[in-house]
Copies of this chain bind each other. A is one copy, B any other.
Amino acid sequence: MKYRQLIVLSVMLITGGTCLAQKEQPTITEDFKPSTKNQPGQEYPRVNPQGYARFRIIAPEAKSVVVSLGLGGTRGGTPLSKAEDGSWMGTTAGPLEEGFHYYHLTIDGGVFNDPGTLNFYGSTRWESGIEIPAHDQDFYALKNVPNGKVQQILFPSPSTNTSRRAFVYTPPSYEKDKKKRYPVLYLQHGWGEDETAWSNQGHANLIMDNLIADGKIKPFIIVMTYGMTNDVKMGGLRNFDIKPFQTVLIDELIPYIDANFRTLADQPHRAMAGLSMGGMETKTITLARPDIFSHYGLLSGGTYAPEDIKDKSKVNLI
């Protein structure tokens, strides 16, 4: 049980990272390939095994095109230069950290997405995404193994007076044995992201499929929902009130999941984890409601001090 959880947490830490680091690197090898996050058929942006990214944008009459990587743009970003054919091209000054990165373009003073890539919800907007191949990318690759499903559900939320969306991963075996019930992990996204992040950017479903196929993990259900209740304007985190979301999660989503999926609907089989803001939410909610969750995971979202946990007999410390 502990081994399984450690693996899942490690996986999440590795794939959920969105940090950026640049090092001096003398020679750029010219073995660039299209990023796996590109739109169908798009050749740019391209990445090389060293972690450099190269961009090409068509905007022949533009005055300036800059690529900003990271949540707020990084030290001025990567300015592109106008090539002879009228396109704009440029390569990052250094290699990027492996894994997924959000970015956008600044063109003539306006912020736009790169038409070469897919969009991912981060920074409270749909942004361009690029994937720097990770040394363990095999871990989250789409492989020829039994694949589970990611389901979009709309669950009634009287407290927010609407229907709210969640995504639910069910393991490949879910449809085979119709009597089997599964533990559930409630998995929260980071600030500025939404309920699409863990399966889109995070490949949570593929990671699970691969771990299950390798026999490294026992199958469980993952539920991912939007972690804020003020849908439009996301205020400062300092004034963030967890209560409305806690109500949505505990009084509305969990009963819906337990009624509509074959869950093991008790505290010993219910976990919560989250990245960054989602980790903060996990800490607050799990400590407030130890009767609901037995397994907690904070991914870049703070730590539990031993004195935080009132009744250690109720939870599993790993």
Q: Is A126's beta carbon under 8 Å from chain B?
A: yes
Expressed in whole angstroms, the Cα–Cα distance for A144 and B162 within the complex equals: 7
Q: Which residues of B contact A40 (CB under 8 A)?
A: 124-125, 231-232
Expressed in whole angstroms, the Cα–Cα distance for A59 and B60 within the complex equals: 15
Given contacts A108-B62, A113-B115, contact A178 B178 (CB under 8 A): yes
Contact partner, A153, options B108, B126, B149, Cβ 8 Å? B149
Beta-carbon contact of A147 and B126 below 8 Å: no
Expressed in whole angstroms, the Cα–Cα distance for A86 and B109 within the complex equals: 10
Expressed in whole angstroms, the Cα–Cα distance for A259 and B146 within the complex equals: 13
Interface centre among A62, A118, A154, A261 (most CB of B within 10 A): A154
Expressed in whole angstroms, the Cα–Cα distance for A115 and B127 within the complex equals: 9
Expressed in whole angstroms, the Cα–Cα distance for A63 and B107 within the complex equals: 11
- Measured between C-beta atoms, what is the minimum distance from A140 to chain B in Å? 13
Expressed in whole angstroms, the Cα–Cα distance for A110 and B64 within the complex equals: 12
- Measured CB to CB, the nearest residue on chain B to A175 is B260
Q: In residues 22-58 of chain A, which contact B (Cβ within 8 Å)?
A: 39-41, 57-58
Beta-carbon contact of B109 and A62 below 8 Å: yes
Q: Is A233's beta carbon under 8 Å from chain B?
A: yes
Beta-carbon contact of B39 and A125 below 8 Å: yes
Q: Is A287's beta carbon under 8 Å from chain B?
A: no
Q: Which residues of B contact A156 (CB under 8 A)?
A: 144, 147
Q: Is A150's beta carbon under 8 Å from chain B?
A: yes
Beta-carbon contact of A64 and B64 below 8 Å: no
Beta-carbon contact of A109 and B41 below 8 Å: no
Expressed in whole angstroms, the Cα–Cα distance for A205 and B163 within the complex equals: 14
Q: Which residues of B contact A108 (CB under 8 A)?
A: 59-63, 107-108
Beta-carbon contact of A58 and B110 below 8 Å: yes
Expressed in whole angstroms, the Cα–Cα distance for A119 and B128 within the complex equals: 11
- Measured between C-beta atoms, what is the minimum distance from A154 to chain B in Å? 4
Q: Which residues of B contact A153 (CB under 8 A)?
A: 147, 149
Beta-carbon contact of A60 and B151 below 8 Å: no
Q: Is A152's beta carbon under 8 Å from chain B?
A: yes
Q: Which residues of A contact B (CB under 8 A)?
A: 39-41, 57-64, 86, 105, 107-113, 115, 118-119, 124-126, 142, 144, 147, 149-156, 162-163, 168, 175, 178, 199, 205, 231-233, 259-261
Given contacts A60-B109, A62-B108, A105-B112, 20 further A-B contacts (CB under 8 A): A39-B126, A41-B233, A58-B111, A59-B110, A60-B108, A61-B63, A107-B107, A107-B110, A107-B112, A111-B115, A112-B113, A118-B126, A142-B162, A144-B156, A147-B156, A149-B151, A149-B152, A149-B168, A150-B151, A175-B259
